Structure 1
Amino acid sequence: MAKAKSAFVCTECGAEYRKWQGQCSSCLEWNTLSEVRLSAPRPGAAASSGAGRSGYAGNLSKEVVDLGSVDLTEVPRLSSTFGEFDRVLGGGLVPGSAVLLGGHPGAGKSTLLLQTACKLAQARKVLYVTGEESLSQVAMRAHRLQLPTQGLKMLAETSVETILAVAERERPEILVIDSIQTMHLEDIASAPGGVAQVRESAAVLTRFAKQSNTVLLLVGHVTKDGTLAGPKVLEHMIDASLLLEGGADSRFRTLRGQKNRFGAVNELGVFAMLEHGLKEVKNPSAIFLSRSEEQASGSLVMVVWEGTRPLLVEVQALLDESALGNPRRVAVGLDQNRLAMLLAVLHRHGGLFTGDQDVFLNVVGGVKVLETSADLAVLLAVVSSLQNRSMPRELVAFGEVGLSGEIRPVPSGQERIVEAAKHGFTRAIVPRANAPKRAPDGMEVVAVDKLADALEAL
């Protein structure tokens, strides 16, 4: 009888080692290696057959074909019944794909998937597997949300072998697993939620989805720093990784793609948590622009680009004289390192010194801005707070700021200006290369080349 072997896997990056060590050599994190017991090969199992656990083959096709002969017919997508959900997915659910939905406790992961499953079950076969809640708890939630419950198949189970047997019998088009951290395989000698169980359970379920052309939706937990729990190899197995964000004190939730093999990863979906569940927000700019009537210094609206649409959000800056030898630089919703760089550019090319000031920056609404088009708006908000002078409410700005003080153009500049004009803004400070030949009616476009030109335009 073959002896079971063990390995040590890093929970941060998924690197494997034969022996335990204090620091992972790949990601340089400390105390992240955990032991994984590898099951011994079953007698008579062919090493070259590619068969995985539960009898499902790892290879979808064993025939060698020419790339030019592959059928290019686009696979029809299934609508999730949520336009914002479909936008982040790249157009809808793809049959045979595995989608991982993560988020903090209480963000609304189970609520979103239960709403989607109940609506899809009216026309398609859906199997909802719950490993954290009982069937009565899920039924009470569906009743509270006033969802149609007829037609949705439910299963309370944590054994992957049992789930696959039921799925083989029911043949659902959509399979929901809530959550992957509660699933376990019988031949893995570790507790549910461990590195080995999460990785192997996801691998077996993904193989079943690929082979049976089933849409697999997995719910994943997140760690304290907001990343998906478990090894990084879990993200390599799946086709799409989505993160549902939103604080407990806010009724708005943002759905952002971190990986998507069937669409863009920079799309953003916005939902509102209401009494009857999540409701999609068709016009996100309207909720992020709910500003106070009183004008205040350090506040400015910028136009960022999220996926295929512009988004108007407000950035706020607060500068205060520091009592510390090393003034603080705090950025919420923006890259803190980029803030330090922009302050250096402001001193060198704008003539404004902030080295003795604590700088606090916040993007209203909990939006995380990942692109560089916010540079110009950030600097103008910092200048407004530093001089304690409020800017006009009808002003917007966008543009990338270079280290030499130049204002660089950003993609889709004209579409951003048009979106700002739709929301009633009458003045825009933009890079000269993004200035349109003809501005929208009622909109004054100020084109700038240097940071000094933008400061003068204020």
Structure 2
Amino acid sequence: MAKAKSAFVCTECGAEYRKWQGQCSSCQEWNTLSEVHLASARPGGGAASGRSGYAGDLSREVIDLGNVDLSEVPRMSSTFAEFDRVLGGGLVPGSAVLLGGNPGAGKSTLLLQTACKLAQQRRILYVTGEESLSQVAMRAHRLQLPTNGLKMLAETSVETILAVAEREKPEILVIDSIQTMHLEDIASAPGGVAQVRESAAALTRFAKKTNTVLLLVGHVTKDGSLAGPKVLEHMIDASLLLEGGADSRFRTLRGQKNRFGAVNELGVFAMLEQGLKEVKNPSAIFLSRQEVQAPGSLVMVVWEGTRPILVEVQALVDESALGNPRRVAVGVDQNRLAMLLAVLNRHGGLFTGDQDVFLNVVGGVKVLETSADLAVLLAVVSSLQNRALPKELVVFGEVGLSGEIRPVPSGQERIAEAAKHGFLRAIVPRANAPKQAPKGMEVIAVDKLSDALDAL
């Protein structure tokens, strides 16, 4: 018998090696190589025969890029406006979408709600590999969802799933989850690197060939990244992450990769007894502030995907009892906070080297852009001086290392969003200041950090 061939694949970057080694040479990570059994070549399937077998494909016509049809890609709504927003306008036939998240975040709930509603007009096959059919039916009954028309299958064998899908011909195929799927030809346990990669590849090929929408549920690791080989994220068309702690009833759906829309788009949901309900106005839930304004609290305008969102940032500055003061940031990069405090000392004249600085973005929002720099510094100054800022004040702007206030994208839209929610004053970079401020709103344009401190 021919000896089975195997390779070692890095779970972080997808690099392949012929022999095992402790460290991956590509990403420099340790103990990330896992053995993958390769399928043996078919008899007579050499290079020459492989080329001759694809002679028909090689004779296809080469098309000039300028002659490619640019007609709009047809999309189907997921029945959730927030879900469609993150997807870039809806589900695209023939696309593969991976939905990840922590246990209990609501991945299965979101897809079950979507499938039950879409099953009234479209053919949908829901494959569950983690739960029994009775468990899924009990959840649908508890959420008061329409169950007629939704085709269910409890199976983990990819070969069986593809055979059933060939017979049923669904428009949407839901796999919950990809870590439980396995192929008979792969000699490893479900959830391993080889099984996840080959199972996802087989399902994606079926989706592309039959023009079916493929929705995959994926687990996440301790650091919040998607479990499985890194090559899995390259196979799919869109990678979405559903975030939200068990102590919060709000969930945020963020797009990390999307070939049919913008990345870093944000959708907000609320977890209720009837399941996930979309939040039409996210700024309203993030601005549930107290009547009496406390020092260190300030509202900033961040840009998520294609819309502005108003969120509150809180800072607490206290005298440190340690030789090395702490810098703790939740929702903002901790290294950037340390850099901004150095700018405040050098160009603002305020020393925080002997103070503990704690920073928190209310609502569990993770701010990934630099427009929060000015708001973070002013909140720190407010707590340091123990003086509350006006409740009707909103701030945004990037702070440079020389103390200058740099403009940020979509400044006009940010100011308009703040005016819509009743804010009366705004401190913004001079390049973002509008020629005519919104009615009833005072816009203060600043060039340097010292100008912003004087404006307070």
* TM-score in terms of structure 1 length: 0.96
Deviates more, 1:336-345 or 1:220-229: 336-345
Once the two structures are TM-superposed, the CA of residue 69 in structure 1 deviates from its matched residue by 3.3
Once the two structures are TM-superposed, the CA of residue 44 in structure 1 deviates from its matched residue by 4.8
SS in 1 for 2:227: coil
CA distance in 1, matches of 2:148, 2:400: 58
Deviates more, 1:209-218 or 1:317-326: 317-326
CA distance in 2, matches of 1:184, 1:94: 26
SS in 2 for 1:374: helix
Change (3 A) 1:58 1:137: farther
Once the two structures are TM-superposed, the CA of residue 338 in structure 1 deviates from its matched residue by 1.0
CA distance in 2, matches of 1:45, 1:102: 38
Change (3 A) 1:453 1:442: same
Aligned to 1:28: 28
Contact 1:81 1:116 in 2 (8 A): yes
CA distance in 1, matches of 2:33, 2:360: 36
CA distance in 1, matches of 2:59, 2:294: 63
CA distance in 2, matches of 1:413, 1:301: 15
Structure 2: tracts of 5 or more residues without a match: none
Structure 1: tracts of 5 or more residues without a match: none
CA distance in 2, matches of 1:270, 1:29: 34
Deviations 1:262-284 (A, max 9, x none): 00002100000000000000000
Once the two structures are TM-superposed, the CA of residue 144 in structure 1 deviates from its matched residue by 0.4
CA distance in 2, matches of 1:450, 1:88: 36
Change (3 A) 1:250 1:58: farther
Change (3 A) 1:57 1:338: farther
Once the two structures are TM-superposed, the CA of residue 57 in structure 1 deviates from its matched residue by 14
SS in 1 for 2:221: coil
Change (3 A) 1:453 1:53: farther
CA distance in 2, matches of 1:152, 1:78: 17
CA distance in 2, matches of 1:173, 1:60: 30
Once the two structures are TM-superposed, the CA of residue 62 in structure 1 deviates from its matched residue by 5.4
CA distance in 1, matches of 2:208, 2:72: 16
Please report the RMSD computed on the Cα atoms of aligned residues, expressed in angstroms: 2.4
SS in 2 for 1:58: helix
CA distance in 1, matches of 2:348, 2:100: 42
Change (3 A) 1:61 1:398: farther
Change (3 A) 1:256 1:317: same
CA distance in 2, matches of 1:243, 1:54: 43
Contact 1:58 1:207 in 2 (8 A): no
CA distance in 2, matches of 1:133, 1:58: 44
Once the two structures are TM-superposed, the CA of residue 83 in structure 1 deviates from its matched residue by 0.2
CA distance in 2, matches of 1:333, 1:273: 21
Change (3 A) 1:114 1:48: farther
Contact 1:99 1:217 in 2 (8 A): yes
Deviations 1:283-306 (A, max 9, x none): 000000001122211110000111
Deviates more, 1:83-92 or 1:30-39: 30-39
Question: In percent, how many aligned pairs have the same letter?
Answer: 90
Contact 1:60 1:211 in 2 (8 A): no
SS in 2 for 1:279: strand
Contact 1:160 1:184 in 2 (8 A): yes
Change (3 A) 1:27 1:130: same
Change (3 A) 1:126 1:44: farther
SS in 2 for 1:254: strand
Change (3 A) 1:168 1:432: same
Change (3 A) 1:438 1:384: same
Once the two structures are TM-superposed, the CA of residue 356 in structure 1 deviates from its matched residue by 1.1
Aligned to 2:374: 376
Contact 1:60 1:210 in 2 (8 A): no
Once the two structures are TM-superposed, the CA of residue 125 in structure 1 deviates from its matched residue by 0.3
Aligned to 2:410: 412
Deviations 1:286-331 (A, max 9, x none): 0000011222111100001111111000001111222222222111
Deviations 1:77-130 (A, max 9, x none): 010000000000000000000000000000000000000000111000000000
CA distance in 2, matches of 1:56, 1:422: 61
CA distance in 2, matches of 1:77, 1:60: 31
Once the two structures are TM-superposed, the CA of residue 64 in structure 1 deviates from its matched residue by 3.5
Aligned to 2:4: 4
Change (3 A) 1:223 1:75: same
CA distance in 1, matches of 2:37, 2:320: 53
* TM-score in terms of structure 2 length: 0.96
